Structure 1
Amino acid sequence: MTAVTALKAKAENGPEIKAQILLWPVTDASFSQESYQKFATGRFLTVPVMKWMWDQYTTDPEERKSIYASPLQASVDELKGLPPAVILVAENDILRDEGEAYGRKLDAAGVEVTTVRYNGTIHDFGLLNALANQPSTKAMLDHAAAELKKYLK
C-alpha cells in the first residue's frame, strides 16, 4: 500500500509524501521471484495464502500488472521523483526478493532508498507478539521509528 500510495500521489500531484517505510512489501503479482519457490510452504506466509490474497484483491491478470497493484512493474521513469524509501524485508519470506528488487529499481530511478534484510526472520515478524522480544524485531522497529522521526520533523 505504501508504494502504491506514493505512486498515486506522484501521478496526481499530491498529497506530498515525505518518505516511504515499506515493511515486507508486496510489490509484484507475478509469483516469479526465487523466494516464492524457496519459501513456498512452512514459513508462515505461503504461496497458497498469497495467491488467495491476490484473488481477493483482483483476479484480472491485466489489473495485477498495473503499477498500482504491482509497483515493481513500474518503469524507472515512473519511479523517478518518488519520496525517499526504506524497505525492510524478512530473510525467510516469499516476498523478500520482490521487496529487494523494488529497492534496486528505486535506486536505479535515483530515489534515495535503503533496503535492509533481517536474517532469521519470517513475514510479519515485526507484528507477531510471539517474536516481539527478538533482537531482530527490536532492531527493525527501532530502524523504522528512527526513519519516521527523521522525515517527520
Structure 2
Amino acid sequence: MSLWQKLQAKLLRAFAKRMKAKFTYDAALFPLRAVVEQTIPTPWGPALALFYWPHSQLSAQLPVYLNFHGGGFVAGTPEHDDSYCRRLAHNLNCLVVNLDYVLAPEHAFPAAPRQCFSVLEWLASEAGTLGIDPQRFAVGGHSAGGNLAAAVAGLARGHQALKVVHQLIDYAALDLHQDPALKTSTSARPLLNAGLMRFFNSCYLSDPAQALDPLASPLLAPVEALAGMPPATVITAQYDILRAEGEAYAEKLRQAGVPVRQRMFEGCDHMFTHLGPDESAEEAWQLMEDSLREAFQSVDGADAGASAQRGEGSLHTISTIAP
C-alpha cells in the first residue's frame, strides 16, 4: 500500500460520504420496527452493519437479505443503500443486513469477500437468537458489491448450516483481469473510466495475478465450477463500461444450469439505481424486490415451519439508531 493510494482513497471516501443518492424513497413510506447498529466479530476484523427489522406479525423465522454497497472496494458507504434497504425490509417482511465491509488498500483482497462470508456464517450461527431462517438467505450488491455477492454465493455452496437462495448482481465488476482500457462504452463520458478502474484494482489487489482468482473475478470461473450456484438476477446498464462482463457472467451461469433473470436498462449508466433516471431506477428496484420475494417464498410452508421450530429463542436487543 503506497502513500499515494492511501491519500487518494481517503479523498474518494470523503467524496462518497458527501454524495447523496438522487433517487431515494421517503422513509415514512416504508415504516420499520427498528433500524439498529450491530458490530459483528469476524476473523478479518469487526464488521459494522445496519439491521433493518420489519414489523413482522409472523411466528416463522424471517428470511435475510445481506447487502453489499459499491465503491470500487475502496470507497462507498452502506448509507447510500439505506433507502432501498428500508423498502426491501418493509415490502418483503425480511431482515435486511446492510454491511460496512473492510475497504482497500488498507484491507486488500481477499479480506472483503472473506469478511462478507464470515458475516453470513455469523448470521447463521445466531439464527435462533435473531429469529431468522438460515435456509433463506439472499445476497446482493451494486458495482463492487455485486462482485462480493457473487463471491459469497460461491463460498456458500454446499454449506451445512445455511443456504443462499438468490444472488442480486447489479452492474457489477466481475472481471478484474481484463485491461480497463478494453472496457468501452457507447457514451462519450461514462461514469466509470479506465483510469478510475485501474486505481480501484491497484488498491484491491496486492498482486495483479490475484485478478485471475475467481474469488476476485467471478467471470473467470469455469462453467463447471458455477454449477449449483443460487439463482441470479443480473442487472446491467447500456452505457456502463461493466455491461459486457455482467452479460457474460449471466450467460456463463446459464451454461452452468443456473436460473438467471437478466435485464439491460437502456439509456442508463453505472449507478443508475441511485442516480437515476428515476423511472429506470424504480423498475430496477422492483425487479430486485420481485426476485427476492420469489426466492424467499420458494421455501414451502412446511419447510418454513420446520425452520421456525429449529430456531428457538428471542431477538436480542441492540441500540436503536433510527425508527
Does the pair score TM above 0.5?
Answer: yes
Say whether residues 1:26 and 2:173 are aligned partners.
yes
Q: Which amino acid aligns with 2:290?
A: A
Q: Cα deviations across residues 69-99 of structure 1 (Å, max 9, x unaligned)?
A: 0011101111000000010011100100000
Whole-Å Cα distance in 2 between the matches of residues 70 and 10 of structure 1?
Answer: 17
SS at match of 1:19: strand
- After TM superposition, the structure 1 = structure 2 runs for residues 78-93 of structure 1, keeping only pairs within 5 Å, are 78-93=225-240
Decide whether the 8 Å contact of 1:9 with 1:16 is kept in 2. Answer: yes
Q: How does 1:4-153 map to 2 (within 5 A)?
A: 4-10=151-157, 15-31=162-178, 36-38=183-185, 42-128=189-275, 131=276, 134-153=278-297
Cα offsets for 1:15-70 (capped at 9, x unmatched)? 31010111001110133589713358611111111111111110412211100000
Secondary structure of 1:22's counterpart equals strand
| Identical-pair percentage | 29
> Does structure 1 conserve the Cα–Cα contact (< 8 Å) formed by 2:232 and 2:260?
yes
Q: 2:180 and 2:250 mapped to 1: Cα distance?
A: 14
Q: Secondary structure at the match of 2:254?
A: helix
Unpaired runs of 5+ in structure 1?
Answer: none
TM-score normalised over the length of structure 1: 0.89
1:13–1:40: structure 2 CA closer, same or farther, 3 Å change rule? farther
Mapped partners of 2:235, 2:171: distance in 1: 6
Question: Structure 1 residues 143 and 41, CA, compared in 2 at 3 Å: closer, same or farther?
Answer: same
CA–CA distance in structure 1, aligned partners of residues 205 and 293 of structure 2 = 35
Q: Which has the larger radius of gyration?
A: 2
Deviation, structure 1 residue 12: 5.6
On the 8 A contact 1:86/1:115 being kept in 2, the answer is yes
- Following TM superposition, by how much is the alpha carbon of 1:147 offset from its aligned partner in structure 2, in angstroms? 0.8
CA distance in 1, matches of 2:185, 2:154: 30
Contact 1:35 1:95 in 2 (8 A): no
* Mapped contact 2:187–2:239 kept (Cα < 8 A): no
Q: Which has the higher strand share?
A: 2
CA distance in 2, matches of 1:65, 1:88: 23
Gapped regions of structure 2 (runs ≥ 5): 1-147, 298-323
- Over 3 Å counting, the alpha-carbon distance change for 1:55 and 1:149 in structure 2 is same
How many angstroms does 1:7 deviate by?
1.1
Q: Which residue of 1 aligns with 2:18?
A: none
